[in-house]
Every structure is written in C-alpha cells, then in structure tokens.
A and B are shown apart, each in its own frame.
Chain A
Amino acid sequence: MELNIRGIEKHFGEKEVLKDISLTAKSGAALGLLGRNGAGKTTTIRIVMGVFFPDKGEILYNGKPLDRKKVRIGYMPEERGLYPKKRIDEQLIYLAMLRGMNKADARQACDKWLDRMGMNEYKVKKLETLSKGNQQKIQLAATLMCDPQIIILDEPFSGLDPVNAMLLKDVIKEMIDGGAVVLFSSHQMNYIEEFCDSIAILNGGKIVLDGRITDIKHSYPRNKIAVTSSQIEQIAPFVLQYMSGEVLSAEPEKGVENTLLIRLQNPAAKTKLLQGLSDKGFDIDAFRVCEPSMNDIFVQYTEVGI
C-alpha cells in the first residue's frame, strides 16, 4: 500500500506556498516530513486530508485518487484539536462517528484506546482537567480510533515526558508494523531517525532533499573517522607518521573526551588505518565513520530559502 503525492502546487493569494511537491510513503515504513516553520508541511498535510484543494497535482492511494470516504485517515494536528470543555469519551466517540464509524464500534474503540493509553479513569472527565501530556495521549487515541490506513502525525512528541514518549513510540511502531502508511512531521530529529526510513525536507515550498535516511547519509563523504580510546595522545602522532600523506589531520574532537577525529584523503584508507591501530596494540573502544547527523543535514538544507 502506498500513498503518492504527485506534483502538488498551491498558492494562497499571490503567495506560492507549494511548488511541485512529490512524495511517496509506503506502508510498513514511516515517512518523515521535515522543514522549518512555514516551509509548507502543514499545507501539504491539509491537502492530503482534503481540507485544501491543490491548484495542480493529485493524491493517489494504491495508484488511484485518494477517496477519503473509503480510506480511513487518522490525523493528529500540531495544534492539538479537541474540545477542552467536553467530556473525553463524548468527543472521542463524536470524532470517530464523523470518520464513519457507527456508535457501537465507536464506543468500543474509545474504551479500547483509552485502555491502551492507560487513560481509562479519565473517561468521563473534561479534557481541560488533564495534564498536557495526558491530553496528548487522548489526542493520539482520537487519531488512531478509526483504525486508520493512513496516519498523519504532526509533531506528536512535543510536550511528552520520557515515559509517555516511550508509550507513544510503542504505539506508533505497532501501527507501522501493522501496515499503516505513516506520515510523520517533527522538529525533533532523534525521533525522525528512530521511526522513519525515509525523509523529505521541505524548504520554501519545495522539496530540497528526499530519500532513505541511510542512503542520504551514505551520500556524504565518508573520510572522517572517529576513534575512541584512552590513548588518543599516543594514537595521534602514530597515525600522522604511519599514514603520512594519506591523513589530512588528526585532532581530538572538541568537547568530547577520548575521541580523536581523523580525516583521510581517501575514505578507502580506513581499512589500513584500522589494521595499523590493531597491529600496534592500542586499546580501542570504538572505531567508526563519522556520519553527518540529521541535525547537520537539516540545517544544511534549510538554512537559506525562506
């Protein structure tokens, strides 16, 4: 199962908000939608949800135009959207029914999800009486109640404590494994790395980078090696001498203890480096290629343009 966003364009008044956006999200894997504030993430999501009509382009589900009456979509907006002054069960059932469930099923789903979230005791409480993290859990229950085939989560982790974040992670992973198409938008890169196989970075209404995270990382030069050891003071002069001409620099990493950063002229020389270090009998804790972090990539692609 697959969700295709194809060639979407949208403008509000004179302002062009989306320029030729194309994305593919597959079931069983989450797609991370990244971008700074105002990059067009929410507009893209709203077009998928059918709140806005695109000026151009189409949304396909399994190759056919997405029929929102037949395909169940769960959406969790960034700006949380529930009634603070209404009872939790009432509004959950109401939303599920608007999404096409009948009353009995909605009731059952409400109980099931409140139970799953550990929120059973709050069932008849008003939403506003709950803490922010608990409200968030209710919001997630509202999103998942209709057993969605497509799940769109906009900043699901903001405001959660680690325990609740863990619960949320488990639930989302379950849904991904269950075969749902998951679209995930967040500023918290660690969550993106944890959940998403692929990402798409939006900047100024355009997609500036998309693909599998591993592929993207591999596309960066892999000539930077980090060696962790208690003996880096001895290692540094050794490397410079042992591989002279092949090493550009060997300096301790700033702010990190016992880590030496070695930049090679040629990435393939890392095997020789590893060989030399082990032959010499250094006590090595870790030896790895320094990949750019998601943060670095994000900043690199979104620094300019808005």
Chain B
Amino acid sequence: MKHILQVLRFEYSGCVKTKSFIISTAIFMALILLMAFLPGIILSAMSSDQGGEPTGDEKKPVIAVCDNTYHEDELVKQQLALYYPNNDIKMTTEDIAALQDKVDSQEYAFAVVLNEPLSCTYITKNNSVFSTNNSQLTDALTKLYQVMQLEKAGVSPEDSLNIIHARMKMDTITTGTDQGQNYWSTYVLMMILYIAVVMYGQMVSQNVVAEKNTRAMEMLITCAKPTHLMFGKVIGSGLAGLTQMLLIISTALVSMNTVSKDSLPAQIKDMLSFPMQTVLFALVFFILGYFIYSFLLGALASLASRSEDLNTLISPVMMVYVAAFLVVMLAMSSDNLNGTLMIVCSYIPFTAPLAMFTRIAMSDVALWEILLSIAVQLASVYLFGRLAAAIYRIGVLMYGNAPKPAEIIKLLREQHRSNKALKAAAKQS
C-alpha cells in the first residue's frame, strides 16, 4: 500500500509537471475563455454595423419587383418589406433582360418577376448553397398570394396578415426525462467522457512503454511489486486526468456565469447546462471506464518494447472502444436508448460506461439497473487490474517481438502455477 502511494505520487506529479500537460491544459482553458468572450464580441461588432446604417447616406440594397400579376404595388411592397426590412423594394416594369443586366451589375441585389399568382422568376447574381434567400422569398411570395386570396374572399389585408402570420405558442410538460432539453447536454458530456477515458488511458500506456524503453523498469521492478507499480501508475495518471478536467470544467463554469452570462446564445446555454446529477454520473462512469481501459492499455503496453509497437498492440482494445461509442451514438440519434442492444451494452464492461451513462442521462433507468451496471464494472475493474498486473509482470522484462496471445496465456498459467507452488512452500516452512 505504501508503495502504491509512492508510485501514485510520483506518477501524478510527473504527469502534472510535464510541459505537454501544462500546455494542453492552458490551451483548453484559453479556448474556453475565448468561447466565452467571443459571442459578446461578435454581437457587439454586429450591432455596431447595424447602428451605422441609418445615419449613413448610403443606399440600402435594392430589390426589384416586376409585378405582372397583382398590380397592387403597395401591398406587394408592404408584404416584402416584412421579410426584407434592410432593403429597398422597387416596383418596376423592366423586362427580364434588363433586370438581368442590372442584377449582374449589382444595381439590384436581386430581382423577381411575378408571372402568375403561383409562378415567379428569381434573378440573382450568385446562388449560394448556403443562401436562405430562396426559401425566404418563396415564403414571402406564398404569403403574398394567400393575402390576396383572402382579400378576394372579403378579409381585410390587416386581418389576413394576422391570420397568416399567426404562430402557435407551446408549453411542454414532461413526466419522464425531457430528451429534447438534455439531448445536447448529454451529447457534450458523452463526448467529454469518451475523449477523457481514451486520452488518459493512452497516457498510461505511453508511460509504461517509455519506462520499458528507457529501462527505468529494470530498477523499478526490483524496488516494488509489479501490482503496486501498475496500480500506482493507473491511479496517479487518473488523478492527473481528473485534475485537468476539473480545471477545464471550472474555467468553463466560472466564465459562463460571469463573462458570457448574458451574451451566450440560448442554444449554447442549453448545451452547457448540465443537471448536477448527470455530472456526478459522468464522473462515476469516467472513473470506472478509465480504470477498465487503462488497466488493459497498460498491460498491453507492457508487452511492447518500443513505442512504435504500441499502436498495433492496443488497436483491438481501441476498436472495441470506438465500436461502443458508435453503438451509443446510434442509439442516441435513433431514440432507441432502451432497446435490447443498449440494455445488453449497459452490462458489458467495455461498453457499460458510455451506454449506461447515456441511458441514465436521457431516459428513465431503474435504480437496480444502475447499481447492477456499476457492480459489473467494479468487478471487472478488479479482474482487469489483477490480469493487467500479471501480464505486466511478464511483459515488462520481455524485450523483442511482442508475444502472441497464446504465449501470453501460457506464461500467465505458468506464473500462476509457480506462485501457487511458492505459496504452498512458504506455508510448509
């Protein structure tokens, strides 16, 4: 136990003091601060743009309308102005060729020819894929048609405008979990969980390979038991990871509640407003997932002699992890969180951290299910920890090509047998 603590402390301070750790934490924090300030900066820049417009003499961009259908200039102008408040609407009788020339020379922002009640020609210089003008114009002209029709039926233009632009206001009351509300916040937390587990797990595996590669292991292994080294290392790196996450998250929380309290758009606020309970669950599942994966990654890394071999060795585990992520993402987007697949995944140690967390955050899960999933994961942390320590013991002093799985199993068995024999001998004496 003393050894575990010493290794833990050394690994933790080693991690936290590395340049890469400090720099990446600083970059993350800076990015978050930037994101917090950015909406405010952009908004103020935009408002100053708009503020400058009315005082200036420059003309508003002109939209030319050639009305061959209604012959109601005022009504058309009024209707279009609703949709284009920053443009001048000019009624014209020019033909299409003339309009094309003027649009091309940018005298007009764009032009529209109303041919029949439900048919028009839209003349524009560039038609961008991202432009919303097409649908906006269609909408405006369709509404115009509706107003005209209602007027024919005897409804006054004001009334018809009100009828057409009426909008339903809806209040939602949910008795279960409101997916619409927490979809994005869960999504964000899930991504953080996914990235954090794999990032810090890989950090453990890289440290193990580095120790082996630099032969520091030769000394360490004579000072402490492999089990202690393994546990100390995994817990130490995990704590370093938690430190980094706490720093980043608290920066985010503080900046959200101070700097960008008012300027943050409502959608982003929604994405970042995590219920406390969900955050706690994210923490629990991060710890469980981290242990499960970092034990495996650390054990596999101990079999590699050089860092070049590392990727090949850990790729099966990484593939399983990515698969788990994809399953959960698919279930999230297809709204099938409590399907058979997800329920099964909640109890498989490799997928449980992501699957169970998402189910808890976005749907109703019984308490016993949560407890069972956590129990399964705790048991596998214990098992993987022991297995990892055994593999580590074999791996760290083995150089050259990484052994094949069958060889590892054979060596593990042998080690197990000799340990048993040794214990029996110790008892006898």
Contact = CB atoms under 8 A, between A and B. Distances in A.
Interface of A: 13, 46, 49-51, 53, 55, 65, 73, 75, 77, 79-84, 86, 90, 94-95, 97-99, 142
Contact of A73 (B222, B410, B419, B429): B222
A153 to B, nearest CB: 13
Given A50-B222, A53-B419, A83 B216 contact: yes
Contacts of A83: 211, 214, 216
Given A13-B411, A55-B418, A98-B6, A79 B218 contact: yes
Nearest to A103: B6
Shortest 3 CB-CB distances between A and B: which pairs?
A81-B218, A81-B219, A98-B223
Contacts of A94: 6, 10
Contacts of B214: 81-84
B45 interface: no
A51 B222 contact: yes
Contacts of B216: 81-83
Contact of B220 (A53, A65, A98): A98
A8 to B, nearest CB: 13
Most chain A CB inside 10 Å of its own CB: which residue of B214, B397, B418:
B214
A46 B397 contact: yes
Contacts of B223: 95, 98-99
A94 B14 CA distance: 11
Given A13-B414, A95-B219, 4 more contacts: A46-B222, A81-B215, A81-B216, A98-B7
Contacts of B429: 65
Nearest to A52: B397
A86 B14 CA distance: 8
A82 B214 CA distance: 7
A49 B422 contact: no
Interface residues of B, number: 26
22 contacts: A13-B407, A13-B410, A13-B411, A13-B414, A46-B397, A49-B222, A51-B222, A51-B397, A53-B419, A79-B218, A81-B214, A81-B219, A82-B219, A83-B211, A83-B214, A90-B10, A95-B219, A95-B223, A97-B6, A98-B3, A98-B223, A99-B223
Contacts of A65: 429
Contacts of B410: 13
Nearest to A93: B10
Contacts of A50: 222
A53 B219 contact: no
Contacts of B219: 75, 77, 81-82, 95, 142
Interface of B: 3, 6-7, 10, 14, 211, 214-224, 397, 407, 410-411, 414, 418-419, 422, 429
A75 B14 contact: no
Contacts of A99: 223
A51 B418 contact: no
A301 to B, nearest CB: 27
A210 B277 CA distance: 71
Nearest to A50: B222
Contacts of A80: 215, 218
B8 to A, nearest CB: 11
A49 B219 CA distance: 10
A83 B410 CA distance: 32
Nearest to A82: B216
A136 to B, nearest CB: 13
A30 B255 CA distance: 66
Given A79-B215, A83-B216, A51 B221 contact: yes
A77 B215 CA distance: 9
A53 B414 CA distance: 11
A204 B230 CA distance: 33
Nearest to B417: A55
Contacts of A73: 222
Contacts of B221: 51
A55 B420 CA distance: 11
Contacts of B3: 98
Contacts of B215: 77, 79-81
Given A13-B411, A53-B418, A79-B215, A98 B224 contact: yes
Contacts of A55: 418
Contacts of A81: 214-220
A97 B9 CA distance: 12
A97 B419 CA distance: 27
A51 B14 CA distance: 25
Q: Which one of A73, A81, A82, A142 has the highest number of Cβ atoms from chain B below 10 Å of its Cβ?
A: A81
